[in-house]
Structure formats: structure tokens, C-alpha cells
Amino acid sequence: MGELLKASRGERVEHVPVWFMRQAGRSLPEYRQVRAGVPMLESCRRPELVCEITMQPVRRHGVDAAILFSDIVVPLVAAGVDLDIVGGVGPVIAEPFRTEADLPPALAPEQVSFVDEAVRLLTKELGEVPLIGFAGAPFTLASYLVEGGPSKHHEKTKALMYGQPELWHALCARLAEITLTFLQVQIAAGASVIQLFDSWAGALSEADYRTYVMPHSSFVLERIKVPRIHFGVGTAQLLTAMGEAGADVVGVDWRTPLDTAAALVGGRAVQGNLDPSVLFAPWEVVEREVRRIVAEGRSAPGHIFNLGHGVMPETDPAVLTRVVELVHSL
């Protein structure tokens, strides 16, 4: 059961470890059942519910890791930022970030004691199966705060970044501290790997990523003592820089083959990269793609099989289970 940890360190594995981003979520009927009537943020604050939701895909699919059920805005809300997650929209910020006075307060570990409790419940229940801790990276959190919610073009974020770089760096430095505290609480309670999600980093050129984003992600990653996975979507142009940011494993979406990615990330392990849309194709296509990805992953020192982005809600969970069996058999 330690295959995921071994792969993240580039050690020899018995089989390629596998988990799925958003494995705990709307594709599972048992998830929809326990979430019925419970708002998203509320569900992240109930340790027993978090434990149950996090365990569901482990029981059902036999994946090699659990990932803490949470949301990237959870530490912001805990620190006192006024926001809500609106169904069909995403996070909506009451007062978008404009000036230094809007800097989010620091996060005290006690403010996320519900996460500490959930992780303790989970590590007991998981036994040998590792728990992946979870946090959003500073750039992605900053984009939500500046845009006031999800954004297609991140134009306000970039205007701040280019126009007021000192204020930008102050915001990202604060977000990096919040993220680090949030992850350290999870690690102290038993998380044995972490994934830092920079969902929107793919909106940037490599030069802008290195100037405005990477220092803050590195601040977080360099202070974490367990294996670190770093993931973003649409990052074909950023893989080398993301490899240098301080992660042990670079997550890759489906746009870049893993052998190409392995060469770009400089001797680190890779994670990915089945297109979540492929799960809607006939099984022969899924099987062909899984086999291709496992073969391409062998050119990296370590490979953690995953999707290239989160499981989509309409995905048939039986196909996910079959993918786990297939990956383990190869």
C-alpha cells in the first residue's frame, strides 16, 4: 500500500499507484446521498462527514490513496474572508481584493481544528492507505479574491499583478502563509503526502509564472517535509518551471504526453494524465489510453496514475474501478 509514497520518491514499485482527482465527489451515488441538503462549505467543516466522503472512493475503487475532502477556499473562510460557494457558479467573494486593507487575515491552526479532527479520524480508518493533504496554491486563491469568483480570463488579477506588483506580492505572500498553515495542520494530524493545486496557473506565460507566482508556491513547497505533488491545468508551457518550484511530483493534464513531461520536469516523478473525457468513450478506448499512459509514464523516475483533471460528475464510477484494476495489472 506504500506504492504511492514510493513512486513519489522515484523508488521501485510493485504496481503503478493510482488515485483520481475529485474521486470523492459527485460521480458517486453514496456521495450525493450523504451530501443531500448539506451546503458545500458546511460539509467541509463536519469531521465525520469529511471522513465518510473521503473514504467512499477508497472502499469502492481500491485506489492507492485517499485525498482529504475539502475545497481550496476552506482556509480563506476559516481565516475570516467573507465568501460562499454558490451552486453552479463556484466561490463568490463578498468584497473582492483591491487594496492592502483587503489583505486576508493570517490563519491560526485552531481556526481549522475541524480539519485536524477529520484527518485524525481518517488516518485511523485508512490504516496503511496514505492520505493526501490538499490546498490551493497562492495564484489560484489570489485569482478568486481579486476577480470575486471564478474567471475565464483573470484580467483583474493580471492587471493587479502587472500594475501593482508590490501589492500583488503582498497578497500572494499572505496566501502562501495561509496555505502553509493549512497544509501543516493536515500533516501534523497524519497526512503523508500533499497536493498543491494551482488550477489556473496555465493562464500564464512561463516568464510571468516565474516572476509573479513561482516564488510563492515555492515558499509553501519548500517548507513541507512530506512528498509534494504540484498540479495545474493547461500547463504545457510551465512544466519545467513547475518542476523547479519545489515539488517531488508534477501533475500533468492530458495535453502533454508523460514521456515529454518527464523530460521537461527534470528528473522528478509525474502524475497523470488520462483525459477525464475519455471515461465517456467505449472501454476499448479507455483501455488503450490507460496502457499508453502507463507505458509513457515508465520514462519518469516515478509515475502516479491519475486523470489529467478532476472526475466529471456524469462519470460512471464502474469505469473508474475498472481503470484501477487495469493500472494495477500492468
Binding site for a copy of itself (CB under 8 A): 153-159, 162-163, 202-207, 234, 236-237, 254-257, 275-278, 280-282, 285, 309, 312, 314
Residue 279 near residue 316 (C-beta atoms within 8 A): yes
22 is a catalytic site residue:
yes
Among candidate residues 22, 45, 174, 228, the one labeled active-site is 22
Q: For residues 184, 189, 195 and 196, what is the CA-based torsion angle, rounded to 10 degrees? A: -30
CA R_g for the chain:
19
Q: Would residue 253 show up in a list of annotated catalytic residues for this protein? A: no
The annotation places the binding site for substrate at: 22-26, 71, 144, 199, 309
CB of 59 to a copy of itself, least distance (A): 26
List the catalytic residue out of 9, 46, 71, 120: 71
Q: How far is CA 273 from CA 104, 130, 292, in A?
A: 34, 20, 10
Q: What is the dihedral of CA 285, 287, 289, 293, to 10 degrees?
A: 180
Clarify whether 316 is annotated catalytic.
Answer: no
Peptide bond into 306 cis (omega under 30): no
Name the catalytic one among 45, 60, 64, 144.
Answer: 144
> Which residues make beta-bridge pairs with 229?
195, 249
CA-to-CA distance for 139 and 218, rounded, in angstroms? 12
Q: Which of 265, 273, 325 minimizes the C-alpha distance to 295? A: 273
Annotated binding site: 22-26, 71, 144, 199, 309
26 catalytic? Reply is yes
**For every residue of 232-273, which 3-state class applies, written as one string?**
CCCCCCCHHHHHHCCCCEEECCCCCCHHHHHHHCCCCEEEEE
> Is 144 assigned a catalytic role?
yes
Q: What are the distances in angstroms from CA 218 to CA 205, 232, 306?
A: 17, 14, 23
DSSP per residue over 4-73, as a string?
A: HHHHHTT---SS--B--TT-SSTT-HHHHHHHTT--HHHHHT-HHHHHHHHHHHHHHH--S-EE----TT
Measure the N-to-C terminal CA separation of the chain; round to a whole number of Å: 16
Which positions are catalytic? 22, 26, 35, 71, 144
